[in-house]
Chain A
Amino acid sequence: MTTPTPYELRSAWRELSREGAAPGLRIGLLASYTADQLVPYLGVPLHRAGLPPLCHVGPFDQIVRQCLDEQGETARSRPDVLVVAPRFEELGPAGPQWTRDLLDVADAARSAVERWVGTLVFVLPALPDHQGLGVGDTGRTAGAAALATAARETARARLAGLPGILLADAEDAVREVGAAGAYHPAMFKLAKVPYTEELFARLGTRIARLLVGRFGAGVRAVVLDADSLADGPAAGLRDPLRALRGVGARVGLCATDAAVWPALAKSCPELVASVDAAVVARGPVADRLAAVAEALDVPARAVAVLTADPELLPPGAGVVLGEQPEAWTAELAAAGLFDRPAPLTLATAPAPPSVLPVESPASSVEPSAVSLDDFVASLDVVVDVRPAAGLLDTVAEVVTRAKDFTLGNDQDADAVAGYPGDLLAVSVRDRFGDYGISGAVGLRRDGGHCTVDLFSLSCPVLGRQVEDAVLREILRRADGADVVFRYRETEHNGAALTFLRALPENHPDGTGRAGRVHALTWADPLPAADQAPTGVRFGVVAIGQALPEPSAVADLAPSYTEDLDRIRGWGYRTFHRAPEGVGLTDLAVEAGRQALAEAGIGADEVDLVVLAIADLAEYLYWDPAASTQARLGAHGAEAVLVNQACGGGVAAFDLVAGKFAVHPAYRTALVIGANRVAEPYWNRMEINTSVYSDGAAAAVVRRDHGGCRWLATETITDGTYADFMRMDVGGAANPFRAGDPEQPHVANPQDRLDAFFQGDVRAMYRFVSMIRSRSREVVDLACARAGIARQDIRRVIHFNDNGRQLADLAKDLDIALDRTNVDTALEHGHIGCADQLVTLRRLLAAGELATGDVVALTSTSSGMHWICTLLQV
């Protein structure tokens, strides 16, 4: 007899699943380990027995919780059969409490099927694989094997013979496979799958046999194929037949010719003497079997055929006997021909055998009295939440592996390491053991609320109300501010979303305060009360610019680089190069004057000058913002220099909002972004992936001005990459020295990447990926602050990046490329902090923006910073 391999059974199950037969049996599987592997081995034999199952595997190591929770996913699946499979390994260290804990599992499972009116298959756990003293464990009455045996027997005594309850035994499956081939440590570490497929196959088959016996026809009779057995080995049938008789099976003989009877009688006289029916029939096998079944007075589907002819046997209809008659009894047993249901007992469970060193067999609670709260309280769960500093590797591992309880925001290890807010590690332990760092939370204060975009827990700690404890800690840290969870729905994070969506809006933090909790997608706006403070309202009155004459990139590129293909690939057509002697502040002053003139506002009315620069000003130890203020004649204005690289022009709006908020007398501000490439240090065509331009743009903003109204600014800063753009010489750490043989300069991007990431290509790839994801994230944060959805943005005006990068940005933001600044970018080149104002000026002048349109000014800049300012025209 050949037994199908696990691979063959899995393949068969895939085929059966594709066929999509209507399920006849709904099965819920709950185990203390990952039990998905069991499904094919349970499914195939059940399907072949006419009981096509629909299996639902519940969350692992949540047996009791799922049994007690009427709102849990297992209860909602309303199983006809509940299979419960605990292991001692998940019940904590060896001890007498194993008996109590196993009984709690048994009672909870029994209680569940009583409420759900189903059948319970309780799988007695196998003896633990690892026993403390090794071979010495056998000699201890309080050793792991003894304690496990006591617990098993107590559970068996508690459940055996009760109606609606079937018992299987994982130890039987381990014994069949052999302990050496039963366990899979690598799979257990990978996904809490403790067993080999061989073991799962044996266990699944055994459970299926139990269910077939209960719900299916079972084998009530065997038919011997006399044609194939008469000549030789019929004598070997003596013992198997005795065993079959012992379990009450009827026995029939079938032959195509009566001439075989004498030969059969000679080789096995007992057989012929004791059969219940002997039939001579010809024709198709099914017809012959039907004839014997009728003679035996049993349904044909309750008949199993024993034959030595493999050609005779339809699939699943019986046993092809092997070449060794002495193995036939075992073969019939393996095929389930001796399977009969255990007898029912009307009394409740008897006490376990007194020779076993057990605690009182009484469970800590009666089945009917078990409640979910009681159970969780009994776990003694301790949740510790602390800053993740020093634990980043472990936290990153937990976050990247968590799939079920996560906000779905795609944070990889680098994103975790560079999390721009408070990163917290969650450690969990309970009376079953210490799970170590099992989760992480990332939160940050954004104005009046606390945004949580990282909240992950690993599966082993779910079902213990750990998430509630972590939420209380988040609320405590929010200190009364509203908490906003930002999530993305994935195929797997239903557990987290169910938890978040079920939260009441007002959630106590355990200290008497009640913070409001919001669970929002990134597209959801914040509730109106949480949007940008209404006390600060200002808008853009006019925009001026100062751009040197344009030059064709194709004409001048050869004087900057030999890699002309790279330049062509960027798509820039023209750029601006200031003449010799024209400095950064010259351009800033010119743009500022033009903006003031267009606004019809005098310089003396300006209360605040904000100059944002990305390159060096004309001099060291010199404030170009103050110089600009003076040259403009804005002598009464406060001057502020912003040096957030290319993002300064966008970030300046936030600075204005802050100044306006704390200086009620300020009414007018002049925001200037200016750039003048210091060519000795920066090669404008090799320093980055843009062609750099010289120029400036300035915006006059006024308090309470309704046009181009500021809505919000958000900034993500990650100083991990602060060194990426630096020039090593010239600062205080390494001043310029006269007579240096080489002109210092900033290296090209590839060399900088190589140096910064020490040649780690994967790290470089992750870096680029992170830049892109944060560009999207900062836009979403700004939208959330402004109470709008990303789809509400009419135009995204990024810094004047090359055409390919802007196409990537459009893709990441899910907008059409022509809704970015790609045209202006390729026309002007990258003018440092002035890019966004130059494009905004052009769009307004061209009438391409209508009243009410929302515009996002965005930038990524060294530092690194990701910045987004939203304006509403």
Chain B
Amino acid sequence: MTALQEPARLLTLVAEVLDLDPAAVTDEDGPATLPEWTSLRHLQLVVTLEEIYQVSFAYEEVRNVPSIGRLRTVLRAKGVAA
């Protein structure tokens, strides 16, 4: 398992894009609980995950993301050990 595949890596990436302390975010967090998760940051998050995990998201997968946990599920479905 590489560093990128560690579960904590996803939280770190989200925190980095949202400019938050990684310890302050959990899988349950999402746009409803994190005011920093604006629509623009959402775009930045999507492209960052695509780049880091070398995946490509479909529209339906990123249209309405309720939580980080949901992102993790989508990534795992793509074979990423997130």
Contacts and interface: CB of A to CB of B under 8 A. Distances in A.
Contacts of A190: 43, 46, 59, 62-63
Interface stretch (A4-12, A618-626, A680-688): A4-12
A191 B39 contact: yes
Interface string B23-61: 000000000000000111001101110111000111101
A577 B16 CA distance: 60
B47 A37 contact: yes
A233 to B, nearest CB: 33
B19 A14 contact: yes
A34 B43 CA distance: 11
A187 interface: yes
B47 to A, nearest CB: 5
A109 interface: no
Contact of B57 (A10, A34, A186): A186
Interface string A187-200: 10111010011000
B39 to A, nearest CB: 6
A10 B44 contact: yes
A186 B62 contact: yes
B59 A186 contact: yes
Interface in A13-46: 14, 18, 34, 36-37
A10 B49 CA distance: 13
Interface residues of A, number: 22
Q: Is the interface of B mostly helix, strand, loop or mixed?
A: helix
Contacts of B43: 34, 36-37, 187, 190-191, 193
A187 B47 contact: yes
A7 B51 contact: yes
A403 interface: yes
Contacts of A193: 43
Contacts, number: 44
B19 A6 contact: no
Contacts of A197: 47, 50-51
Contacts of A191: 39, 43
A147 B59 CA distance: 31
A403 B40 CA distance: 11
B51 A189 contact: no
A193 B43 CA distance: 9
B48 A186 contact: no
Given A10-B44, A197-B51, A403 B62 contact: no
B2 to A, nearest CB: 16
A491 interface: yes
Interface in A624-677: none
A185 B56 CA distance: 11
B59 A11 contact: no
Given A37-B43, A191-B39, A193-B43, A7 B48 contact: yes
Contacts of A187: 43, 46-47
Given A11-B16, A191-B39, A191-B43, A186 B51 contact: no
Given A5-B51, A6-B51, A189 B59 contact: yes
Contacts of A34: 43
Nearest to A14: B19
B62 to A, nearest CB: 6
A197 B63 CA distance: 18
Interface in A158-215: 185-187, 189-191, 193, 196-197
Contacts of B44: 10
A10 B48 contact: yes
A398 B50 CA distance: 26
Nearest to B35: A491
A403 B39 contact: yes
A193 B16 CA distance: 22
Contacts of A10: 44, 48
A193 B50 CA distance: 15
Interface in A477-524: 491-492
Given A5-B51, A37-B47, A186 B56 contact: yes
A10 B44 CA distance: 9
A36 B39 CA distance: 11
Contacts of A403: 39
A357 B55 CA distance: 42
Contacts of A492: 38-39
A621 B51 CA distance: 71
A196 B48 CA distance: 11
A214 to B, nearest CB: 28
Nearest to B19: A14
A687 B66 CA distance: 33
A578 to B, nearest CB: 45
Contacts of B38: 491-492
A187 B45 CA distance: 12
A10 B57 CA distance: 19
B52 A7 contact: yes
Contacts of B48: 7, 10
Interface string B55-79: 0111101110000000000000000
B13 to A, nearest CB: 9
Contacts of A11: 16
Shortest 3 CB-CB distances between A and B: which pairs? Answer: A186-B59, A189-B59, A7-B51
15 contacts: A6-B51, A7-B51, A11-B16, A36-B40, A36-B43, A37-B43, A186-B57, A186-B61, A190-B43, A190-B46, A190-B62, A191-B39, A403-B39, A491-B38, A492-B38
Interface of A: 5-7, 10-11, 14, 18, 34, 36-37, 185-187, 189-191, 193, 196-197, 403, 491-492
Given A7-B48, A11-B16, A186-B61, 14 more contacts: A5-B51, A6-B47, A10-B44, A36-B43, A37-B47, A186-B56, A187-B43, A187-B46, A189-B59, A190-B59, A191-B43, A196-B47, A403-B39, A491-B38
